[in-house]
């Protein structure tokens, strides 16, 4: 397909619009990357945080609602993958234009709660160690207690939102799904393949070498995958 397409990118726990800057910089010119962020972070830091995952999904849907009159797709990593699914289900419910594709990264299907989300109850020092092991957070941030005093509550709230999510089985989507996971993260390939239960369309699973934040080590490959799916096919 030669037409341009908008790729709405939804961040992981504690992330914001800037989290997808590397993806935005390397993406094919026919794909417009539009990073989203829930309130209370990044460019929306002056707004009150929304701490429920369903409320986050409704908030982000309100943000993109005026832009649904053109071809678009979603990319969501970790918490962003769950939000991608919930937003899409709400789009179906409201009979709104649907995305042409879902790119799910670093997350098993919605009925499987991420193991990492249980960390939200840990004491700060242990919590920081777990985040360091997980990757994705700059060492300079993790080593700065003042910065962590700001970021830790956001990450904890996001993890709590994931942990408290109660999945309600719905009709499968009619949208193709591409799932990407790291070879060394907690989500297994078999778990990732369970996303096929969420759609009546195609579901492909790709593994990349690395842990939960593998995507930052494979930006070019992931951009190529997205381009070939949205533009070349």
How confident is the model over 113-166, as pLDDT tens digits? 777 777 787 888 888 888 888 776 666 666 777 777 888 888 889 989 998 898
pLDDT average, residue stretch 68-87: 96
Among 177, 187, 171, 58, which residue's Cα sits nearest to residue 112? 187
Q: What's the pLDDT at 118?
A: 75
pLDDT (tens digit, 9 = 90+) per residue, 9-55? 999 988 888 889 999 999 999 999 999 999 998 899 999 988 899 99
Residue 233, pLDDT > 80, answer no
pLDDT average, residue stretch 171-187: 95
Domains of the chain by range and CATH?
Answer: 5-111+167-232 (3.40.50.1820)
Cα-based distances in Å from 22 to 50, 92, 104, 220, 222: 26, 31, 17, 9, 11
Query: Where do the H-state alpha helices sit in 27-166?
Result: 53-64, 79-93, 124-134, 139-142, 145-163
Residue 95, pLDDT > 50, answer yes
Q: Which two tokens stand for residue 209?
A: 């070498």
Q: What's the pLDDT at 136?
A: 66
pLDDT average, residue stretch 155-179: 92
50: left (phi over 0), alpha (psi -120 to 50) or beta: beta
């Amino acid at each position: 397909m030669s037409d341009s397409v908008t790729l709405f990118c939804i961040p992981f726990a504690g992330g914001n619009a800037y989290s997808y800057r590397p993806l935005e910089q390397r993406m094919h010119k026919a794909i417009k990357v539009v990073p989203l962020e829930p309130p209370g972070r990044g460019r929306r830091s002056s707004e009150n945080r929304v701490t429920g995952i369903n409320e986050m999904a409704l908030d982000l849907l309100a943000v993109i609602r005026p832009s649904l009159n053109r071809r678009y797709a979603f990319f969501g990593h970790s918490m962003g993958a769950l939000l991608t699914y919930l937003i899409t289900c709400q789009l179906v419910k409201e009979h709104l234009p649907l995305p042409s594709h879902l790119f799910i990264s670093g997350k098993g299907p919605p009925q499987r709660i991420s193991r990492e989300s249980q960390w939200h109850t840990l004491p700060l020092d242990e919590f920081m160690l777990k985040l360091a092991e997980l990757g994705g957070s700059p060492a300079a941030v993790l080593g700065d207690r003042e910065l962590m005093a700001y970021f830790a509550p956001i990450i904890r709230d996001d993890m709590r939102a994931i942990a408290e999510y109660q999945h309600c089985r719905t009709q499968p989507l009619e949208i193709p799904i591409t799932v990407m996971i790291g070879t060394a993260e907690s989500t297994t390939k078999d778990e990732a393949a369970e996303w096929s239960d969420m759609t009546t369309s195609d579901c492909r699973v790709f593994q990349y070498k690395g842990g939960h934040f593998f995507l930052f080590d494979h930006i070019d490959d992931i951009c190529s995958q997205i381009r070939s799916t949205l533009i070349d096919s």
